Structure 1
Amino acid sequence: MKVFKLPDLGEGLPDAVIREWHVAEGDSIGAHDSLVTVETAKALVEVPAPRGGIVEKLYAAEGDTVEVGEPLVGFADSRAGATRESDEKTAAQAEETAAADAGTVVGRIQGGSEMLGSEQAPGEREARRATPGVRALARRLGVDLERHQPRDARFTEAEVRRLAGDREKGPAATAAQRETDERKQGVAGPADSPARRAMALAMSRSRDQVAPMTLCDEVDISTWWGEQNATVRLVRAIQQACVEEPHLNALYEDGQLQPSAAINIGLAVDSPRGLFVPVLRDVANCSDADLQQQIGEYKDQARETGIAREDLQGGTILLSNFGALGGRYATPVVMPPTVAIVGAGRTYQGVVAVDGKPAARPLLPLSVSADHRAVTGGELARFLQALVNALSS
Structure 2
Amino acid sequence: MKIFTLPDLGEGLPDAVVREWHVSEGSSVAAHESLVTVETAKALVEVPAPWGGRVEKLFAEVDETVNVGDPLVGFTGTGEGEVEAQPGPGANEAVPEPVQATAEEHAQEDSGTVVGSLEQGEAVLEAEPQQEQGPRRFATPSVRALARRLGVDLQRLSKDGARVTAAQVWTAAGSRPQTPAETAVKPVAASEAAAAMSPARRAMGLSMSRARDQVAQITLCDDADISNWWGSAPALLRLIRALQAACIAEPNLNALYRDDQLIPQATINIGLAVDSPRGLFVPVLRDVAARSDEALLQEVADFKQQARETGIAQSDLQGGSILLSNFGAIAGRYATPLVLPPTVAIVGAGRVCQGVVVVDRWPAMRPLLPLSVSADHRAVTGGELARFLQAMLQALSS
TM-score class, shorter-chain normalisation, is 0.7 to 0.9
Q: 1:191 to 1:272 in 2, by over 3 A?
A: farther
Instruction: Deviation per CA, 1:38-65: give whole Å up to 9, x if none.
Output: 0011110111111111111111111111
* CA positional deviation for 1:217: 0.3
Letter in 2 for 1:45: V
Cα contact 1:141–1:164 (8 A) shared by 2:
yes
Is the 8 Å Cα contact of residues 129 and 150 (structure 1) preserved in structure 2? no
SS of 1:303's partner is helix
TM-score normalised over the length of structure 1: 0.82
Residues 21 and 36 in structure 1, CA contact (< 8 A), matched pair in contact too = yes
Aligned to 2:343: 338
Q: Distance in 1 between matches of 2:347 and 2:22?
A: 41
Counterpart code for 1:131: T
**Does 1:321 pair with 2:326?**
yes
Select the structure of larger CA radius of gyration. 1
Match of 1:312 among 313, 317, 339: 317
SS in 1 for 2:324: strand
CA offset at residue 171 of structure 1? 3.2
Aligned partner of residue 270 in structure 1, secondary structure: strand
* In structure 2, C-alpha distance between the alignment counterparts of 1:42 and 1:53, rounded to whole Å: 31
Mapped contact 2:138–2:155 kept (Cα < 8 A): no
Amino acid at match of 1:145: L
The answer for the alignment partner of 2:245 in structure 1 is 240
Q: Distance in 2 between matches of 1:170 and 1:296?
A: 13
| Structure 1 moving runs of 4+ over 3 Å | 103-106, 169-172, 188-191
Aligned to 1:175: 182
Q: Which runs of 5+ in 1 are unaligned?
A: 80-102, 107-117, 181-187
In the aligned structure 2, how far is the partner of 1:332 from the partner of 1:210? 12
How far apart, CA to CA, are the structure 1 residues paired with 2:195 and 2:302?
21
More helix by share: 1
- In structure 1, how many angstroms separate the alpha carbons of the residues matched to 2:392 and 2:243? 6
Q: Matches of 2:159 and 2:338 in 1, distance apart?
A: 41
Note the 1:75-154 alignment, pairs <5 A: 75-77=75-77, 106=132, 124-125=135-136, 128-150=137-159, 153-154=162-163
In structure 1, distance between residues paired with 2:378 and 2:78? 56
Q: Flag the 1:245–1:152 CA change in 2: closer, same or farther, 3 A.
A: farther
Alpha carbons of 1:269 and 1:170: their partners in 2 closer, same or farther (altered >3 Å)?
A: closer
Q: How far apart are residue 105 of structure 1 and its match?
A: 8.8
Q: Aligned-pair distance for 1:170?
A: 6.9
Structure 2: distance between partners of 1:190 and 1:228: 44
Partners of 2:185 and 2:277 within 8 A in 1: no
CA distance in 2, matches of 1:104, 1:50: 16
Q: 1:190 to 1:374 in 2, by over 3 A?
A: farther
- What RMSD over aligned residues (CA atoms) do the two structures have, in Å? 2.3
| Cα displacement (A) at 1:373 | 0.4
Q: 1:293 aligns with which of 283, 295, 298?
A: 298
Q: Normalising by structure 2, report the TM-score.
A: 0.81
Of 25-34 and 329-338, more deviation after overlay is shown by 25-34
Q: How does 1:35-114 map to 2 (within 5 A)?
A: 35-77=35-77, 106=132
Instruction: Tell me, in whole angstroms, the C-alpha distance in 1 between the residues paired with 2:50 and 2:170.
Output: 34
Spell out, residue by residue over 1:78-106, the C-alpha distance to the aligned partner (whole angstroms, 9 max, x if none).
59xxxxxxxxxxxxxxxxxxxxxxx9994
After superposing the two structures, state which structure 1 stretch, 208-217 or 2-11, moved more. Answer: 2-11
- Selected match of 2:174 from 162, 165, 168: 165
**Which residue is 2:220 aligned to?**
215
Contact between 1:190 and 1:272, CA under 8 Å: does it hold in 2? no
Q: Percent identity?
A: 69
Write the deviation string for residues 350-381 of structure 1: whole angstroms up to 9, x where unpaired. 22222233322211000000000000111101
**Is the 1:190–1:196 contact (alpha carbons within 8 Å) kept by the matching residues of 2?**
no
Cα deviation digits, residues 131-161 of structure 1 (max 9, x gap): 1100111122232223323487100112112
Tell me, in whole angstroms, the C-alpha distance in 2 between the residues paired with 1:165 and 1:380: 50
3-state SS of paired residue (2:158): coil
Distance, in Å, in 1 between the alignment partners of 2:387 and 2:201 is: 34
Say yes or no: does 1:359 pair with 2:364.
yes
The CA deviation at 1:190 is: 11
Distance 1:347 1:8, change over 3 A: same
State the one-letter code of the partner of 2:300. I
Q: What is the alpha-carbon distance in structure 2 between the residues aligned to residue 190 and residue 360 of structure 1?
A: 50
